[in-house]
A and B are shown apart, each in its own frame.
Chain A
Amino acid sequence: MLCRDADACYWIGRYVERAEATARMVDVHYHAALDSGMSYNVEDVPPGETEPPIHWASLLKISGSDEDFYARYESETDRDIIQFFAFDLKNPHSILSTWNRARDNARSIREQIASEMWESINIFYLELREWNVDRVLEGSPHEFFERVKRSSHLFQGILNRTMLMSETRDWLDVGRFLERGDQTARLLDVKYHDLLPAYRAIEENAHPAVEPLGVGSQLDIHGWIAVLKSVSAFEMYRKVYPAGLRSASVVDFLVLNPQFPASVRHCVKRVDGCLTRIGDGPKESETAMEPQRLIMRLMADLQYVRPGSIIKSGLHEFLEDIQVQCADLGDSITKTYLSY
């Protein structure tokens, strides 16, 4: 397969997945805040002022775009946040930006993919041009985010149904699963710190007596549900852990569960499957074996660790390391297979 085409497939996979992840996160945060009954970090709000209804800062951190946002926007109003995450073309990770880029890539390889796949991307591209922040806020924001999710699902469904079990599909999947795993790790990393102020205090004071793995307050539970919902994991989590919501279980489910389709472990395993089928990099490449080495290491980290020990030795450090490894893997794949 042509390097340029493989590169385009890889990025289509990533961008479509990223658009969906962004839509999910903004959607769930927006709606979870509505019935939380209180704001998350009440102590952050100066007395006498009404707290912002939604704690958006963590969302900005997840996508690594807080600097960009605060440089160009004054406040964290719903309107600004939705504009930024959905329609701001200066934000390279906004839904509109990522979908446009997915389309550009699809257009450059439309002879490689089924026409229906191209059409599903193009149709939503045309639909997106008719949306703006006013229209989203006028009606139900959920309706808009649902449209994004469904378009991503439609694309992936058509992909599953029409594409040959070939290298083209493998590259689309490498992008899709690498992005999905990375997004799950980011989400958990940021929200974990948001949600467990008590635990954060323990970390800071190095107080070993408090058990951080217990059930949190009402607010924590609400927050964990939001996290699970934002990756469509809540119902499945219930089936696996009927005993209830415990932070260690959520971490186990989202990071280590081999069956949940958005767990980091599952995603990395899918990437590994694709790369195994694709085979070694070209002989001409200096790093022909590097992606395989990196992925074996990442798999080992995810396969042989226990959730309790992750939390004890620092969930943030663990997740940060996973994110770094995902980024290295992406770079190595690009360098080995896709550069031209």
Chain B
Amino acid sequence: MSLFESYRTDPFFDEMFFENGEPRPHYRKLFQHLKDMTPEEFKRRVALADKTLINQGITFAVYGDGAGTEKPFPFDLIPRIIPADEWDLIERGLKQRLQTLNLFLYDIYHEQKVLKDGVVPRELVINASNYRAEFQNADPPGNIYVHICGTDLIRDADGTYRVLEDNLRTPSGVSYVLENRTILTRVMPFMFRDLPVRPVDNYTTQLLSNLRELAPASRQENPNVVLLTPGVYNSAYFEHAFLAQQLGIELVEGRDLEVRDNIVFMRTTKGLERVDVIYRRIDDDFLDPLVFRKDSKLGVPGLVHAYRHGNVALANSIGTGVADDKVIYAFVPKLIRYYLGEDAILPNVETYLASEPDSLLYILENLDKLVVKAANESGGYGMLMGPQATKEERDEFALKIKENPRNYIAQPLIALSRAPAFLGECCEGRHVDLRPYLLTGKRGMTLIPGALTRVALKKGSYVVNSSQGGGSKDTWVLAKEGMSQSQGNGSQTQTMGSMTQTLSSSKSQMGSPLSSNPAQTSKGNE
């Protein structure tokens, strides 16, 4: 029995196969590699991958699950492949979108022209729970608000890529992009054969270089960059530790830092040491108890003032959540036109705002067909999947919507594309999304050629969040045909060149015999 014998694409857009069951061109080689594999052989490799994950403690914490609070993140070994031309479209679309959102944030926290021109209703911005009035007229370094962005994309029934939501605060998941690749090359090396898969490991180098550039001018020479985590009990702690390790920077908690005269220091065994750039993985609300939530024990008193004084840089900046609000989301295509004079390259999903009376009526009448989301929740919390919900759940949600229409949006249920996932005995189609990671530095934007593909492993489920039973896949972005893999990445080509040189110059020393114990050698000969 083979992995794909009983595979059906059903009525969905399948990433790997055409409706007639033929593999799509960019999946053909992978299909060749996999088609004769037995489920037993595949299971052996799954076990190997699982063991690696558990031993390394690549786990996430599940809130509200008292028993086992650490779980390995399920990893499906069949990669998702994106051909070069599709990736090109995604890259242009995401850069256009992020450039717009950075301009929008600058505008909102300065002159607010976009509100004066009536492009976005003022009250939607001012009342957004992540709008930070405290941060009005502050200038972040280089006027960049969002340094690290993880936008969720989906593909609909005809394969069109659409933006599902923007994540501009502290997007997570990139560690799985890097780790999944490492594990897959170990347990399924043969799958990579003959495929120009682009490398993802440049991510941390680029991120570190961007972060260092944010340091105050007087500290540019050797800035101290740290990663601020809420601590070991945070669900993304593994990622925080992993990134700090890969970036070679200190992983700090709020209690490790203190602010004196608007300068941030960390407490070391040798005394106080100045901190210049903070890659923070703590939400605005908890960042500084003097400015935001008073009860926050995770933050650092005085941090926001130090930031406003330009003595320390934060990535991402404060107040970015106003632009990834699910209500503002609906206005992004308009904003792209307003700021750049262009049409959106990647379309949105059709969205109804409960704050608009006509739409509110439509939403309430069609709750059984719609997906309703709270404006500021993430991780699949605070959400109603209309078609799958019970009548009681829908009624309960209707009340919440009527109570606070500003806080809700609704979207038609999109028939998310599916990709094959291995489920114990054979492969079946499961719904997937796509989260690429886009970095903005002072010298421009960089999209890592890879992404997190999340997959809803439960049959029929559309919810891909890890907190709701989702898993992940390695995502292969293919290089353009005829291009070598290292093209488009100058620094790597250079490194390769110098490596070759070093090797050839030391050649004369290679091949000299290893020394051994003469006494033993002669004994052996006797």
A111-B245, A119-B55 given; A2·B267 CB < 8 A = yes
> What is the CA–CA distance of A135 and B242 in the complex, to the nearest angstrom?
36
> What is the CA–CA distance of A167 and B273 in the complex, to the nearest angstrom?
15
Contact status A283-B256, CB under 8 Å: no
Judge if A107 is at the interface, Cβ distance under 8 Å. Answer: yes
Query: Which one of A111, A122, A337 contacts B269 once the chains associate, using CB atoms below 8 Å?
Result: A337
Query: Which one of B57, B252, B256 contacts A107 once the chains associate, using CB atoms below 8 Å?
Result: B57
Contacts of A171 in B (CB 8 A): 269
Chain B residue, CB-CB nearest to A109 = B251
Contact status A2-B271, CB under 8 Å: no
A104-B232, A340-B255 given; A6·B269 CB < 8 A = yes
Query: Which one of A104, A111, A123, A283 contacts B251 once the chains associate, using CB atoms below 8 Å?
Result: A111
Contact status A111-B271, CB under 8 Å: no
Over the window 1-42 of chain A, the binary record of Cβ atoms lying under 8 Å from chain B Cβ atoms (1 yes, 0 no) is: 111111000000000000000000000000000000000000
Most A-side CB within 10 Å, residue of B231, B243, B253, B268:
B268
A4-B256, A122-B57, A123-B55 given; A283·B269 CB < 8 A = no
Judge if A159 is at the interface, Cβ distance under 8 Å. Answer: no
Contacts of A279 in B (CB 8 A): 270
Judge if A278 is at the interface, Cβ distance under 8 Å. Answer: yes
Chain B residue, CB-CB nearest to A6 = B269
Instruction: Give the interface SS of chain A, mostly helix, strand, loop or mixed.
Output: helix
> What is the CA–CA distance of A279 and B268 in the complex, to the nearest angstrom?
12
Total contacting residues, chain B, CB less than 8 A: 25
Judge if A281 is at the interface, Cβ distance under 8 Å. Answer: yes
> What is the CA–CA distance of A241 and B371 in the complex, to the nearest angstrom?
81
Chain A residue, CB-CB nearest to B226 = A2
Judge if B272 is at the interface, Cβ distance under 8 Å. Answer: yes
Contact status A284-B272, CB under 8 Å: yes
Chain B residue, CB-CB nearest to A338 = B269
Q: How far is the CB of B260 from chain A (nearest CB, A)?
A: 11
Contacts of B90 in A (CB 8 A): none
Contacts of A278 in B (CB 8 A): 269
Chain B residue, CB-CB nearest to A7 = B269
Judge if B266 is at the interface, Cβ distance under 8 Å. Answer: yes
Judge if B119 is at the interface, Cβ distance under 8 Å. Answer: no
> What is the CA–CA distance of A111 and B244 in the complex, to the nearest angstrom?
6
Query: Which one of A3, A5, A115 contacts B56 once the chains associate, using CB atoms below 8 Å?
Result: A115
A104-B232, A107-B57, A282-B268 given; A4·B255 CB < 8 A = yes
> What is the CA–CA distance of A122 and B51 in the complex, to the nearest angstrom?
12
Contact status A110-B55, CB under 8 Å: no
Query: Which one of A3, A104, A115 contacts B268 once the chains associate, using CB atoms below 8 Å?
Result: A3
Judge if B250 is at the interface, Cβ distance under 8 Å. Answer: yes
Judge if A155 is at the interface, Cβ distance under 8 Å. Answer: no
A2-B268, A282-B269 given; A110·B245 CB < 8 A = yes
Contact status A119-B56, CB under 8 Å: yes
Contacts of B268 in A (CB 8 A): 1-3, 6, 282
> What is the CA–CA distance of A104 and B70 in the complex, to the nearest angstrom?
13
Judge if B241 is at the interface, Cβ distance under 8 Å. Answer: yes
Contacts of B269 in A (CB 8 A): 1-3, 6, 167, 171, 278, 281-282, 337-338
22 A-B pairs (CB sep. < 8 Å): A2-B252, A2-B268, A2-B269, A3-B267, A3-B268, A4-B253, A4-B267, A5-B250, A6-B268, A6-B269, A111-B245, A112-B251, A115-B56, A118-B57, A119-B56, A122-B57, A126-B54, A167-B269, A282-B270, A284-B272, A338-B269, A340-B256
Please list the residues of chain A having a beta carbon within 8 angstroms of any beta carbon in chain B: 1-6, 104, 107-112, 115, 118-119, 122-123, 126, 167, 171, 278-279, 281-284, 337-338, 340
Known: A1-B270, A340-B267. 11 other contacts (CB 8 A): A2-B268, A3-B268, A4-B267, A6-B268, A107-B57, A108-B231, A110-B241, A111-B245, A119-B57, A278-B269, A337-B269
Please list the residues of chain B having a beta carbon within 8 angstroms of any beta carbon in chain A: 54-57, 231-232, 237, 241-245, 250-253, 255-256, 266-272
